Amino acid sequence: MRRFAGCCRFVWNKALVLEKQTYEADGKRLCYYALAGKLKDWKKEEETAFLSEAPSQILQQVLKDLDRAYKNFFAFRAGFPRFKKKGVHNAFRYPQGFKLDEGNSRIFFPKIGWVRYRNSRRVKGTPKQVTVSLSAGKWYISVQTEREEPNPVHPSQSRVGIDMGVARFATFSDGNHVKSPHSFRKYEKKLAVLQRKLSKRTKFSSNWQKLRERIQRLHRKIAAVRNDFLHKTTTTVCKNHAVVVIEDLKVRNMSRSASGTMDAPGRNVRAKAGLNKSILDQGWFEFRRQLAYKLTWLGGTLFVVPPQHTSQTCSHCGCVDRQNRPMQAKFKCVACGFELNADHNAAVNILRQGMPY
């Protein structure tokens, strides 16, 4: 599996170099079919003959992924494709040729054979492709399936607005709120200690590898805690509410560094860096993504509204003033004197903005 993942990484990097050289020379890029023809030649060359040991379909999938990455870049949907590093996101994908035996918890991969696995849940529908990936020393398989689903009708008629924050992860327009587990903040000191130890070890030595794997396991634990919290929260929200309204938050802009330049240094750089860590630790975009597809499954709807002035607008009289929010957690209208928790007031405004009638 490691060799196959390494072959996929090699093909990606080699094809990316060829794409760059072709574009610099002719101003054009190669399509998937041209790269697939090059792949046949690489297998015949003596230096790259090891590619013939890997299944052709997983290498072809790499070229398809690269072609899709270029199309996304030119369509302004993603950044420019980057080279893959060894030990980072090792994976390969079988579009066909695999056999799934759920009864005995095993799966057949071409040129690997039968492999036993621990099943997390039953596979529904017809398996279409399987992705094999390495994370923190453990191998995972993800089975993509196809099945027919009837148009769902949500059992609830409830509507709710959600205000995202750092002190409170989510505050709802009905007054309830959810606190964030702060998974990264919880293990930040431990992670810093391990990373300092890693910097003192000889690179690629045995002890360096062991410590690196330990850091990877800790990162995996942090991500698992965050994902578990997000899935449980979004599932509860989607089951109880048919319409959910959230803000269109630009996390990249909100977490931008305030360090500035040598000529024009920024202000409160250390405090802003801490705020950026807390913002990125929340997983706001993943929360929005999960809400979108889970509401679709259940027959609900997700509305996204602009975030401007939601925290400065009085939900009672509609007055918009920056002085309405004298403190982070307190809202007091300067016009009518209405008082409420600031996040709760913003959530009510978000709901009204998304459902004006």
Instruction: Write the pLDDT tens digit of every residue in 11-65.
Output: 999 999 999 999 998 888 888 999 999 999 999 999 999 999 999 999 999 999 9
Q: What angle do CA 349, 254, 196 make, to 5 degrees?
A: 135
The per-residue pLDDT for 265 is 77
Q: What three-state secondary structure class fits 159?
A: strand
* Res 351 pLDDT > 60: yes
Element (H, E) at 229: helix 206-240
- 19, 67, 281, 343: the active-site residue: 343
Q: What is the mean pLDDT of residues 154-166?
A: 93
Residue 159 · residue 208 · CB < 8 Å: no
- 41, 163, 213, 228: the active-site residue: 163
Higher pLDDT, 238 or 323: 238
Give the alpha-carbon dihedral of 225, 230, 231, 237, to 10 degrees. 150
Query: Considering only CA atoms, which of 101, 107, 5, 118 is closest in space to residue 62?
Result: 5
Q: What is the mean pLDDT of residues 110-135?
A: 94
Q: What is the mean pLDDT of residues 114-133?
A: 94
Gap between the Cα atoms of 70 and 66, Å rounded: 6
* Res 355 pLDDT > 90: no
Active site residue 174: no
- 41, 247, 248, 339: the active-site residue: 247
Residue 145 · residue 128 · CB < 8 Å: yes
Element (H, E) at 117: none
Q: What three-state secondary structure class fits 339?
A: strand
Query: Considering only CA atoms, which of 346, 322, 351 is closest in space to residue 245?
Result: 351
Residue 219 · residue 136 · CB < 8 Å: yes
Per cent of the chain over pLDDT 70 is 99
Domain parsing of the chain, residue ranges: 1-148, 159-307
* Res 356 pLDDT > 70: no
Query: Considering only CA atoms, which of 134, 13, 128 is closest in space to residue 69?
Result: 13
User: Would you call 128 exposed, middle or buried from its count of C-beta atoms within 10 A (0-12, 13-18, 19+)?
Assistant: exposed
Active site residue 343: yes
Residues 6+ apart with CB under 8 A from 27: none
Active site residue 163: yes
Amino acid identity of residue 208, one-letter, is W
* Res 244 pLDDT > 60: yes
pLDDT in tens, 19-33: 999 999 888 888 899
Q: What angle do CA 246, 299, 181 make, to 5 degrees?
A: 45
What is the pTM for the complete model shown? Answer: 0.83
* Res 322 pLDDT > 90: no
114: left (phi over 0), alpha (psi -120 to 50) or beta: beta
Per cent of the chain over pLDDT 90 is 74
pLDDT in tens, 249-276: 988 888 888 777 667 777 778 888 888 8
* Res 357 pLDDT > 60: no
* Res 103 pLDDT > 60: yes
